[in-house]
Amino acid sequence: TLTAPAPFADETSCQCQAPHEKLTIAQARLGTPADRPVRVYADGIFDLFHSGHARALMQAKTLFPNSYLLVGVCSDDLTHKFKGFTVMNETERYEALRHCRYVDEVIRDAPWTLTPEFLEKHKIDFVAHDDIPYSSAGSDDVYKHIKEAGMFVPTQRTEGISTSDIITRIVRDYDVYARRNLQRGYTAKQLNVSFINEKKYRFQNQVDKMKEKVKNVEEKSKEFVYKVEEKSHDLIQKWEEKSREFIGNFLELFGPDGAWKQMFQERSGRMLQAFSPRESPNSSPTRGRSPSRSPSPPWVFSKASPPSSPKAASASLSSMSEGDEDEK
């Protein structure tokens, strides 16, 4: 288990004490010699240490069954002279390498071109680097003499990630990062931003804050509208259920076969029965009796004996009037 960072080569007493015999790649792959690990060296600038660097060191560490990985890091002077300005200074780059799990030892102020004296001093068996020719310091390939000596072991580059790519992203989105750092408290002088650009960035930050507030209000309003729509949908659904229930009850009461029609028919039948009662049955005792004939009034003439003449009619009228007077 790793509990401490990798040591620096000029501060450690851990040196390879066994005789340094030249090894072939085939021998190293077999895990020999048994009395010491195979010493593999990898160098670089390692600016903005990223996963591509770590994967290259992992490959260098696992090239052989038993290996000891030494990593050389070039100083700021050499890097600025042969490659260019760095984001991280040499101390930061040294510390970044010390905390990589695949690194056993860090060599500070490593040379730009490997010399036999340097290889012998650190008892390096093989040098690991990607196989792409690295032109620098007036040479088409600074590892050409290492390849010719049979000490070069290639590793694979990780596509899509490099220090140059990261710097390109920062330059491309410079305004965004400048505004972000101004918002975090950095001064315009620290960011090397002019007075006009500082005011512009701060104004853009205010605009972004306002946009964020408007966005939050819109989200909250959308949530409120959604809740209102949900409640209105429930109310409409309940209203539809109640309306269907009301229509059903109405049809049951006032429909063609409803209770109201039956009740109306029953009442109509009772009223008709009250106005025209039924005749008594034939077996009724009053039905057998013969109706008593009431005496005919005296003014009813008998059809059998009509008056034969006007005189006779006047005589009969006078007699009737006399009879009435007698009754009175």
Q: What are phi and psi of 91, to 5 degrees?
A: -65, -45
d(CA 248, CA 237): 17
116 with 194, same domain: the answer is no
63 with 84, same domain: the answer is yes
DSSP state at residue 139: B
- Choosing from 137, 155, 173, the residue where a domain stops is 155
171 with 144, same domain: the answer is no
pLDDT of residue 201: 81
pLDDT of residue 44: 94
77 with 171, same domain: the answer is no
The answer to the question of residue 132 being in a domain is yes
Q: Contacts for 9-16 with beta carbons within 8 Å, 24 or more apart? A: 9/70, 9/105, 9/106, 9/107, 9/108, 9/122, 10/107, 10/108, 12/105, 14/105, 16/68, 16/123
Predicted structure pTM score: 0.61
- Choosing from 100, 127, 155, the residue where a domain stops is 155
121 with 177, same domain: the answer is no
Complete DSSP assignment for 25-90 = HHHHHTT--TTS-EEEEEEE--TT--HHHHHHHHHHHTSSSSEEEEEEE--HHHHHHHT---SS-H
The answer to the question of residue 234 being in a domain is yes
Q: Which helix (H) or strand (E) covers residue 178, if one does?
A: helix 174-183
149 with 55, same domain: the answer is yes
- Residue 137: which CATH number? 3.40.50.620
The answer to the question of residue 315 being in a domain is no
pLDDT of residue 255: 64
142 with 182, same domain: the answer is no
Under a CB-based contact definition with an 8 Å cutoff, are residues 51 and 101 in contact?
A: no
- Digitized pLDDT (tens) for each residue of the chain, 328 residues in all: 577 899 998 887 555 555 567 788 888 888 777 778 999 999 999 999 999 999 999 999 999 998 999 999 999 999 999 999 999 999 999 999 999 999 999 999 999 999 999 999 999 999 999 998 888 767 788 999 999 999 999 999 999 999 999 999 999 998 888 888 888 899 988 888 888 888 888 888 888 888 888 888 888 888 888 788 778 878 888 888 888 788 777 767 666 666 666 776 777 777 777 766 555 555 555 544 544 444 555 444 444 445 544 545 555 545 554 454 444 4
- Choosing from 94, 122, 155, the residue where a domain stops is 155
Q: How many domains does the chain have?
A: 2
**Domain coverage including residue 104:** 25-155
Among the listed residues 94, 93, 89, 92, the one whose alpha carbon sits nearest the alpha carbon of residue 106: 94
Q: Which two tokens stand for residue 287?
A: 């039905």
Residues with Cβ within 8 Å of 214's Cβ and at least 6 positions away in sequence, in order, are none
The answer to the question of residue 216 being in a domain is yes
